[in-house]
Chains A and B, each alone.
Chain A
């Protein structure tokens, strides 16, 4: 009898432990921590390569990216082994996902003789309506403050993400302005951007310049192909591709 009571007590204790685990484990998972695979301080191109491994229509798609700079600044992107013809203040180019594109920024106000070479890595694409991809590029905005920070030896990292419409701030953004917020040291920018939306591009800007004896292909990240635009596509009317309206039938009484 004593043995039966002891066995009963042990069984009840283990059943209670099972129940506690079954209730507590989902709660523990919901609280985290989550271990993000990608970090913002990974080398350029690593995150994009992992994105390509996920599959989907990412490879071989040239995602339009529009790089904006302060007034008077000249922008170039690597093309065919060298930098393209400089464009003033805005540069619209189609970039492959998973590749790293080196830019050249020059003619900065008050520092006209200096150049910086930021990089843009596209890690995701957009899915615009057919024929409208160039009208909805990923904006990468270079502010005057950040350019001068980079020239002074600092490293500027920007992770651009698509905002979630339901949680977006109900304010109007000015044209040419990209809202951002700065994170404190020790916080990962990719993780923060992923919590707020969907990261699509990474801008890295520092004071590194090409050295004469350096392998230029390495500095230019193997010179990936880039597409340029001459004319933006016009807006497609709502009735495009649909049948024309037939004459109205008379109203019946």
Chain B
């Protein structure tokens, strides 16, 4: 027994030695190179990998059924097999980094985006890879809460939340969906080296001192520190004082009549969900494309909504060919917050228009509705672009110098049941 104990002590060392390894080109273990096995036909919709990021009561999303094996969803040029032989650019011999013989090289074509399908590893949550996207919305760690003195705590970068007071004195918090935009940014690490040769003769012996290659670079000090551009929103240097800016939300005259509604909204807001807060079944694809998809399919016939894992009762209003679904909640105050952007990809310097739609979808009037958006560092708020369709007090706040900006809209009037509004602002991609 005594002899076995040292061996038992070594077991944790061996098991734990491979933990905590950083990601990197040389560290991550090689993926298994197994030939793609054809997946069986899927008759039922597969479960969603996980709820939307940071949203505590996210609508479970069930993607549409698919019947193609996994490897057939990859573009023709993608290859996940073993290294092949005789690549097109090697004169004889094996080309270990070429695809199997016979596969054409990937080529850019004008045939449209259908020939270049987006690929991501199975089982990972979108968007992927995360370092190429900038996201805004949701509650990243699901830890936002409001203290007794109305201080919001736990607001992380990218969070977009709203808090409101109910008639029975509670303060509820809801988060929006997450909007991700493809905008990779690059930087570099530089190293400059110079060879130093030294030659010397000792006395008359003709000894030549061997040249030493001295990989040494005279340090010139940091050159990469770019002069930070002063944030335009920072008004004073006193960090203890909040920068308050009173900008009345511009009133957007929202007409509920069919003909005039289209003239008051931006092109990317051509959704009934944004204009009226009503969900139209014919818009589900376009809305899902712009949001994290807050609807779920339980069958192929209609859109159904699960809230807190309970099916909401619905009263239908029919007007062929579409359906307008009105959901009735039983005894719960609820605020719905939906966020969309006018672009799905942007380069540095481009401006993105964000739109927030908020609606009281509960069965009680709610008050002190406050919508907060913490922009991530790569999004720069464009001054003077904040708008709100209801009377609201708009405030910007920068928590720390150089940190992201927090936008805050405080709706002055309580929201009645089924009442809502729109908030707009613009942000530049840094």
A128 pairs with B191, CB closer than 8 A: no
Interface residue tally of chain B, by bracket?
35 or more
Query: Is B430 on the interface with A (CB-CB < 8 A)?
Result: yes
Type the 1/0 row for A113-155, where 1 means its CB is closer than 8 Å to any CB of B: 0000000000110111111111110110100001001000111
B12 pairs with A25, CB closer than 8 A: yes
Query: Is B47 on the interface with A (CB-CB < 8 A)?
Result: no
Query: Is A85 on the interface with B (CB-CB < 8 A)?
Result: no
**Stretch from A69-77, A102-110, A163-171, A208-216 contacting the other chain:** A163-171
- Docked pose: A36 CA to B364 CA in angstroms: 59
Closest to B31 in A: A55
Tell me the smallest distance from the CB of A245 to a CB of chain B, in Å. Answer: 6
B108 pairs with A136, CB closer than 8 A: no
- Docked pose: A34 CA to B317 CA in angstroms: 62
Type the 1/0 row for B221-249, where 1 means its CB is closer than 8 Å to any CB of A: 01111101101000000000000000000
Q: Which residues of B are found within 8 Å of A183, using beta-carbon distances?
A: 189-191
Query: Considering the complex, which residues of chain A in the window 24-62 have a beta carbon less than 8 Å from any beta carbon of chain B?
Result: 25-26, 29-30, 34, 36-38, 40, 47-57, 59-62
B88 pairs with A173, CB closer than 8 A: no
B22 pairs with A153, CB closer than 8 A: no
Query: Is B217 on the interface with A (CB-CB < 8 A)?
Result: yes
B377 pairs with A179, CB closer than 8 A: no
A250 pairs with B12, CB closer than 8 A: no
Query: Is A227 on the interface with B (CB-CB < 8 A)?
Result: yes
B190 pairs with A246, CB closer than 8 A: no
B28 pairs with A25, CB closer than 8 A: no
- Docked pose: A244 CA to B223 CA in angstroms: 52
Partner of B402, one of A126, A134, A170, A233: A170
Query: Is B133 on the interface with A (CB-CB < 8 A)?
Result: yes
Q: Which residues of A are found within 8 Å of B9, using beta-carbon distances?
A: 14, 17-18, 21
- Docked pose: A51 CA to B25 CA in angstroms: 7
Q: Which residues of A are found within 8 Å of B198, using beta-carbon distances?
A: none
Query: Is A1 on the interface with B (CB-CB < 8 A)?
Result: no
Partner of A62, one of B24, B106, B321: B106
If A25-B16, A173-B348 touch, whether A239 touches B403 (CB-CB below 8 Å) is no
Closest to B344 in A: A238
**Stretch from B96-104, B385-393, B409-417 contacting the other chain:** B96-104
Partner of A133, one of B6, B108, B158: B108
Query: Considering the complex, which residues of chain B in the window 307-334 have a beta carbon less than 8 Å from any beta carbon of chain A?
Result: 317, 319, 321-324
B190 pairs with A156, CB closer than 8 A: yes
Tell me the smallest distance from the CB of B199 to a CB of chain A, in Å. Answer: 16
Q: Which residues of B are found within 8 Å of A127, using beta-carbon distances?
A: 118-120, 128-129, 132
A166 pairs with B376, CB closer than 8 A: yes
A164 pairs with B131, CB closer than 8 A: yes
If A38-B26, A156-B190, A156-B192 touch, whether A173 touches B185 (CB-CB below 8 Å) is yes
B226 pairs with A190, CB closer than 8 A: no
Number of residue pairs spanning A and B whose beta carbons lie under 8 angstroms apart: 348
A57 pairs with B23, CB closer than 8 A: no
Query: Considering the complex, which residues of chain A in the window 195-253 have a beta carbon less than 8 Å from any beta carbon of chain B?
Result: 195-200, 222-225, 227, 229, 233, 235-236, 238-243, 245-246, 248-252
Query: Is B42 on the interface with A (CB-CB < 8 A)?
Result: no
Query: Is B404 on the interface with A (CB-CB < 8 A)?
Result: yes
Query: Is B89 on the interface with A (CB-CB < 8 A)?
Result: yes
A132 pairs with B345, CB closer than 8 A: yes
Partner of A50, one of B17, B25, B88: B25
Q: Which residues of B are found within 8 Å of A153, using beta-carbon distances?
A: 194-195
A55 pairs with B33, CB closer than 8 A: yes
If A26-B20, A124-B25, A129-B182 touch, whether A60 touches B103 (CB-CB below 8 Å) is yes
Query: Is B151 on the interface with A (CB-CB < 8 A)?
Result: no
Query: Is A172 on the interface with B (CB-CB < 8 A)?
Result: yes
Number of interface residues of A (CB under 8 A): 119
Tell me the smallest distance from the CB of A107 to a CB of chain B, in Å. Answer: 23
A165 pairs with B285, CB closer than 8 A: no
If A25-B12, A38-B26, A157-B190 touch, whether A129 touches B344 (CB-CB below 8 Å) is yes
- Docked pose: A54 CA to B32 CA in angstroms: 8
Q: Which residues of B are found within 8 Å of A159, using beta-carbon distances?
A: 188-189
A161 pairs with B80, CB closer than 8 A: no
A123 pairs with B25, CB closer than 8 A: yes
Tell me the smallest distance from the CB of B213 to a CB of chain A, in Å. Answer: 11
Closest to B121 in A: A56
B268 pairs with A238, CB closer than 8 A: yes
- Docked pose: A17 CA to B188 CA in angstroms: 46
Query: Is B150 on the interface with A (CB-CB < 8 A)?
Result: no
Query: Is A84 on the interface with B (CB-CB < 8 A)?
Result: no
Tell me the smallest distance from the CB of B115 to a CB of chain A, in Å. Answer: 8
A158 pairs with B132, CB closer than 8 A: no
Binding site for A on B (CB under 8 A): 1-2, 5-6, 8-9, 12-13, 16-17, 19-28, 30-33, 74-75, 77-80, 83, 88-90, 96-99, 103, 105-108, 110, 112-121, 128-135, 157-158, 182, 184-195, 215-217, 219-220, 222-226, 228-229, 231, 256, 258, 261, 268, 270, 272, 276, 278, 280, 282-283, 285-286, 289-290, 317, 319, 321-324, 342-345, 347-349, 376-378, 380, 402-404, 428, 430
Closest 3 CB pairs of A and B: A37-B26, A181-B224, A131-B113
Binding site for B on A (CB under 8 A): 10-11, 14-15, 17-18, 21-22, 25-26, 29-30, 34, 36-38, 40, 47-57, 59-62, 94, 96-99, 123-124, 126-136, 138-139, 141, 146, 149, 153-166, 168-173, 175, 178-185, 187, 189-200, 222-225, 227, 229, 233, 235-236, 238-243, 245-246, 248-252
Pairs across A and B, CB under 8 Å, 8 listed: A11-B1, A26-B16, A161-B187, A172-B229, A181-B223, A225-B89, A233-B110, A249-B322
